[in-house]
Copies of this chain bind each other. A is one copy, B any other.
Amino acid sequence: MEAEQPARRPGGRTARVRAAVHEAVVDLLREEEWGDLSIALVAERSGVHQTTLYRRWGTLAALIDDVVTERLTRSSPVQDTGTLRGDLEAYAVQVAEDVASPLSAVFLRAAMVGTHAEGGEPPRQIYLLERGVQLQAMLDRARDRGENPPTLLELLEVVLAPLYFHVIFFNSPAGADHARGLVDRLLALTAST
């Protein structure tokens, strides 16, 4: 009952199944009430057997986490512009754009719900772990160039936290200019220490 595949993707059958399942989850997250989402619905939409979904992801929460992590990581690669300010601004503006997409708000909320619903590991931590490694590399590059970078925690707290805060609590993304202002604030903090 493995139905027709969507457009062929690189990476063989395993990758194609993952892509089809992810696509189905994204569609369903857009369309359905949280409470209605289920492995059965994902199976129906993706044409991938429930058994395969359970074997591969275990739970709906784990599947949602996988989708959220993959999307968030893919959506904003960390650039190497040659300066700390350039890197930070590129990153902050990218995040500001990413969180402004309606789907991103969906993902953020999915991350909250998925985790609670079945007690899995929070996807946000996996995401932060992967992203944290990239950001730490950005900060290390700055130090190697003789710049005075903030710590990773300072970067997350001063730049990333407000960008998410605007979306989650104000329901209104901060925008690129505001993101650059947060980078100014971060650099002012490290300059004064």
A171 pairs with B35, CB closer than 8 A: no
Copies of this chain, count = 2
Indicate whether A192 reaches chain B with its CB closer than 8 angstroms: yes
Most chain B CB inside 10 Å of its own CB: which residue of A106, A165, A182, A188: A165
Q: How far is the CA of A170 from the CA of B165 in the complex (A)?
A: 14
Q: How far is the CA of A34 from the CA of B188 in the complex (A)?
A: 43
Q: How far is the CA of A126 from the CA of B192 in the complex (A)?
A: 36
Chain B proximity of A12: nearest CB distance (Å): 33
Q: Which of B122, B170, B192 meets A188, CB within 8 Å?
A: B192
Chain A at the B interface: mostly helix, strand, loop or mixed? helix
Number of interface residues of A (CB under 8 A): 33
Indicate whether A125 reaches chain B with its CB closer than 8 angstroms: yes
B161 pairs with A124, CB closer than 8 A: no
Q: How far is the CA of A16 from the CA of B156 in the complex (A)?
A: 44
Q: How far is the CA of A106 from the CA of B188 in the complex (A)?
A: 36
Chain B proximity of A170: nearest CB distance (Å): 7
Chain B proximity of A19: nearest CB distance (Å): 25
